[in-house]
Amino acid sequence: MHRDLREADWPRGQRIAVLAPHPDDFDAVALTLRHFHVRGDTIHLAVLTDGASGVESAYPGAVNDAAKGALREREQFASCAAFGLPPERVAFLRLAASELEFSAANVAVVRDWLLPLRADLVFMPHGNDSNATHRQTYALFCAVAEQEKLTLCAMLNQDAKTRSMRHDLYLPFGDADARWKAALLRCHDTQQQRNLNARGHGFDERVLAVNRATAQALGLAAEYAEAFELERWPQQ
């Protein structure tokens, strides 16, 4: 049974970690994160890879992979500034996407960032996803949670490449909030232009189309919704 996440009995002053496989994954669930941010919960973001492979070579300044990665990191800082997330709460782990494998070294990087936060909630894309970096991010988190016997909740979000998932919690929203979210998504101009070139519509439209389809699938009165599968750790 799915329910509006605003109706859940969340304790105040939560510590929230966001594990973003790429720059822009934070923005895919920006309205849910804003809900917790406004409540006074503390959010920290780790971007695991620089997402350089997602930048077209014809994009201005994209002269090599290092430049592409720098472009995407600047876009994420701009988006977080518009959101209201202080820069000191944004970390770039800079794991190579081509090497984002299940390895002791990568588990250690995620563990060393996550453990000091003592997070109550961790957000990330769902592991049942066609994007390999999304799947590996979830696998790395699970390794840390199992090895360290963490007690927390994981919020696994739906995106355009999620294959299937439970819809345990959702955040409905309307046009005004959709415009705010679209503005954040457009901070990622490399992705906006790539989607316009490859798909004929912007990155903002692509993400909001997922949110619109989710609201319809859940039978909500709202036009849009961000949806999550909730996992509790330790798992039973």
89-98 pLDDT, tens digit per residue, is 999 999 976 6
Give every CB contact of residue 136 below 8 A, 6+ residues apart in sequence. 21, 100, 101, 102, 106
12-233: CATH class: alpha beta
d(CA 71, CA 61): 8
DSSP state of 129: B
pTM of structure: 0.96
Residue 16's DSSP bridge partners are 43, 121
What does the pLDDT look like over 104-159, one tens digit per residue? Answer: 999 999 999 999 999 999 999 999 999 999 999 999 999 999 999 999 999 999 99
Parse the chain into domains and list their residue ranges.
12-233
Edge-to-edge strands, sheet with 152-157:
3-4, 169-173, 224-233, 152-157, 121-125, 15-20, 42-47, 90-92
d(CA 137, CA 102): 9
Kindly state the tokens that stand for 48. Answer: 């695991």
Residue whose structure tokens are 């998504």: 185
Predicted pLDDT at 163: 94
d(CA 74, CA 71): 5
What does the pLDDT look like over 191-223, one tens digit per residue? Answer: 999 999 999 999 999 999 999 999 999 999 999
What is the distance of C-alpha 87 from the center of its chain?
17
d(CA 169, CA 232): 13
| Spatial CA neighbour of 224 closest among 236, 234, 214 | 214
**Gyration radius of the chain over CA positions:** 17
d(CA 222, CA 236): 34
For residues 102 and 170, the model is more confident at 170
**Helix ranges (DSSP H) in the chain:** 30-39, 65-83, 104-114, 132-148, 175-185, 189-199, 203-218
Q: What is the dihedral of CA 101, 102, 107, 109, to 10 degrees?
A: 0
